[in-house]
Structure 1
Amino acid sequence: MARPIFCATHPRACSTAFERVFMTRKDLACVHEPFGDAFYYGPERMSVRYEKDEDARKASGYSESTYKTIFDRLDHEGAEGKRVFIKDILYYLVPPDQQPPRVAPSLQSVKRGIGTEKMSNGINGVNGVNGVNGVNGTHHVNGHANGVNGVNGVGKKAPFPFPTEGEPGNPTIVPRALLEKFHFTFLIRDPHSSIPSYYRCTIPPLDQLTGWNEFYPSEAGYDELRRFFDYARETGLVRDRNDGPENGIENGTENGNIMNGDAKGPEVCVIDADDLLDDPEGILRAYCQSVGLDFHPDMLNWDNEDDQERAKAAFEKWKGFHEDAIDSTDLKPRTHKKAAKSEEQWDAEWKKKYGEEAARMIRKTVDQNMADYLYLKQFALRP
């Protein structure tokens, strides 16, 4: 069976509209941003966003989610024979602020991939998440002795860094053995569009839905995406498109569908959101070709009750971030391509919408991420 497709992206990349296309397919099991559960809420969380709000973590319903429970869910999703399609924010798998990665404790003894049951250092093991020396252990991060978040702790701090070691060269907290199980693709968007869109989700009126009232530049997500993309290319998780059968990759067929990437590694597949919005059918045809799916034009329309209900249920946990995608009924080419703007015009637009101080923050964040975006853009798929 073809490996699960993992569309790795950053926030506000039009990724939910992209995801809705694949939610129309009954032959796919679509999973919406599963790893945020562990990144923000669970005992292995790496984000500090909810450290002062334990009630919100518990109310989310994901306060017990570990990275292993999420991988187990993905394994279950594929158990009925459907190919799994995952859309997720890549920085959920990478420590914030370029901290050195360490393998998530619940995944520490993973050797052979999804479904591994041998957890000698796992969730309830001696060194596991709830173990003696683990994330919630007696002597470590959330311990009751001298742990950072313990009774005698000195401040609020997410459980990262974990009491584990990282894998050489791997920028994520996921063992290579698990990463190899996925067909990785990438979706990007110009920071001039994504960053102010993200900022808007942290101010009134959307903050009343999202629950986020502070903008974190560290959540832009481009740095993590680029570092993982480079790791994937350099180590064979993905291969350059001009690589051929001599590298052990051949494009076979199964039931009339091209099964690219099922041998040794998928080809590089990067989608730029502007290209997608200008030519959705052309880009999606090329994307489907790359990941081994047949393309149907009716994938671009979800104006029916079943598809709408499925989307509302999937997007419920991230209120305020996906309303446009929930309310949409199809994906059509935009009538006019995005007009080119000077940097001065962008600054003036942000100042008018959000005020001078916010405009400065947005500008700084955009500038910090442009090089990574432009680097990834050179790999963008063309129809």
Structure 2
Amino acid sequence: MSDKPVFLATHPRACSTAFERVFMTRRDTLTCAHEPFGDSYYYGPERIGERYANDESARESSGFSKSTYRDVLDRLEKDGSEGKRVFIKDMAYYLTPPNSQPAVIAKSLRKGGDDDNYSEEGNPTVLPLDILKKFHWTFLIRHPRRAIPSYFRCCVPPLDEVTGFKEFLPSEAGYAELCRLFDYLREQRVVGPALASGEPNGTGNNNNTANGSGSSGVSITVIDADDLLDHPNDVVQAFCRETGIAFTPDMLTWDDAENQDYVSEAFAKWTGFHNDAIHSKSLTARTQAHKTVTEESENEQWRQKFGKEAQEKIRACVDENIPHYDYLKSFAMKF
């Protein structure tokens, strides 16, 4: 079983912070890094994100204007040198240039000098393959019809005054980038070819025993947020089994002042995005399943909430990303 740092790669509004809170209760054995690559993606000298490209004051005030991808990796390495395993939750798109632009390796990570075109064939990220191999990769997804309207809400009034995200950027939906990263890691046998199993003790059809040459020994572990919300105990147990993290039932409860103070500080740099997770006390199964809705009723709901122009933007972004979600869903653990 791998003892590498666990990297949970996801997209915005996938319930990933609620899932991360589970592992933040295990400070005896784990050190959690909350979206560390956003520092270099948005603000640093190697930034590839669009949002603050022309806003130097925002980059400076963030405190991360000098953070390179090497700086982030050095912090993660330091976290792992303190006798605990590192658990990283981050957006796949923080590693990948937006709008399907070709990726070049971040300057601070290049071995070939200062060549601005230094890249690796097939690698969609700014991290070289030898660094990608250092992590135990896992994935969390949520249907775009729920994740994208939730993200849109964070980028428009009144919440935009809190988050600082003043515009909804479809390039930050994150599904396409997650797919490209996922496929590359599979092609390079960093994960797979065996699928993770949601069955107790790995007894299901997707047995996590990898056979044959070229097997990484790291299962393809994809979690759907709906499964997490419906079966939190089973999902967390299965995830722990696949990653080699010791599971205890009390990981799903954090109703104490020490845990609350810890997460409030950890989530502070993304103000407004994680309020529900910060104020939660546990991860319990939801009591009501999502109702089946039609495209027409969704459109009307979004129109009433955000206006007609916004509804059209949301619909276009949802429809564009459903195929990416469906593809990743085909690899998800079954519960």
TM-score range (shorter-chain normalised) is: over 0.9
Whether contact under 8 Å (2:210, 2:217) holds in the other structure is no
3-state SS of paired residue (1:98): coil
Whether contact under 8 Å (1:108, 1:164) holds in the other structure is no
3-state SS of paired residue (2:7): strand
Which residue number in structure 1 is paired with residue 146 of structure 2? 193
Whether contact under 8 Å (2:3, 2:85) holds in the other structure is yes
> What are the Cα deviations for residues 327-366 of structure 1, in whole angstroms up to 9, with x where unaligned?
1111110001111111111111101111111000000000
Whether contact under 8 Å (2:210, 2:216) holds in the other structure is no
- Quote the offset at 1:244 in angstroms: 3.9
**Structure 2 CA distance for partners of 1:51 and 1:246, relative to 1, 3 Å:** closer
Which residue number in structure 2 is paired with residue 22 of structure 1? 23
Q: Separation in 2 of the partners of 1:28 and 1:329? A: 20
> What are the Cα deviations for residues 190-230 of structure 1, in whole angstroms up to 9, with x where unaligned?
00000000000011121111111110011100000011111
One-letter amino acid of the structure 2 residue matched with residue 78 of structure 1: G
Which residue number in structure 1 is paired with residue 45 of structure 2? 43
- Quote the offset at 1:382 in angstroms: 2.4
Q: Separation in 2 of the partners of 1:20 and 1:12? A: 14
One-letter amino acid of the structure 1 residue matched with residue 104 of structure 2: R
Percentage of matched positions with identical amino acids: 53
One-letter amino acid of the structure 2 residue matched with residue 64 of structure 1: K
Q: Separation in 1 of the partners of 2:312 and 2:229? A: 28
Q: Which structure exhibits the higher relative contact order, with contacts defined as CA atoms closer than 8 Å and separated by 6 or more residues?
A: 2
In the TM superposition, 1:292-311 aligns within 5 A as: 292-311=244-263
What is the aligned-residue RMSD (CA, Å)?
1.5
**Structure 2 CA distance for partners of 1:71 and 1:354, relative to 1, 3 Å:** same
The structure with the larger Rg is 1
What runs of 5+ residues in structure 2 fail to find an aligned partner?
Answer: 196-206
**Structure 2 CA distance for partners of 1:357 and 1:176, relative to 1, 3 Å:** same
Instruction: Give TM-score, length-normalised by structure 2.
Output: 0.93
Question: Normalized per residue, which structure has more helix?
Answer: 2
Q: Separation in 1 of the partners of 2:55 and 2:102? A: 26
Which residue number in structure 1 is paired with residue 7 of structure 2? 6
- Quote the offset at 1:46 in angstroms: 0.4
Q: Separation in 2 of the partners of 1:68 and 1:302? A: 33
- Quote the offset at 1:47 in angstroms: 1.2
3-state SS of paired residue (1:97): coil
- Quote the offset at 1:265 in angstroms: 3.7
Whether contact under 8 Å (1:38, 1:62) holds in the other structure is yes
2:320 paired with 1:355: no
Q: Separation in 1 of the partners of 2:266 and 2:292? A: 35
3-state SS of paired residue (2:54): coil
Whether contact under 8 Å (2:152, 2:168) holds in the other structure is yes
In the TM superposition, 1:165-244 aligns within 5 A as: 165-239=118-192, 240-241=194-195, 242=207, 244=209
Q: Which one of the candidate residues 263, 268, 271 is aligned to 1:316?
A: 268
2:58 paired with 1:56: yes
Tell which deviates more after alignment, 78-87 or 233-242. 233-242
> What are the Cα deviations for residues 4-23 of structure 1, in whole angstroms up to 9, with x where unaligned?
00000000101100000000
- Quote the offset at 1:264 in angstroms: 3.5
In the TM superposition, 1:60-79 aligns within 5 A as: 60-79=62-81
Q: Separation in 1 of the partners of 2:238 and 2:3? A: 18
- Quote the offset at 1:248 in angstroms: 6.2
Which residue number in structure 2 is paired with residue 279 of structure 1? 231
- Quote the offset at 1:171 in angstroms: 0.8
Instruction: Give TM-score, length-normalised by structure 1.
Output: 0.81
What runs of 5+ residues in structure 1 fail to find an aligned partner?
Answer: 110-119, 122-126, 128-132, 134-162, 250-262
Q: How many residues align?
A: 321
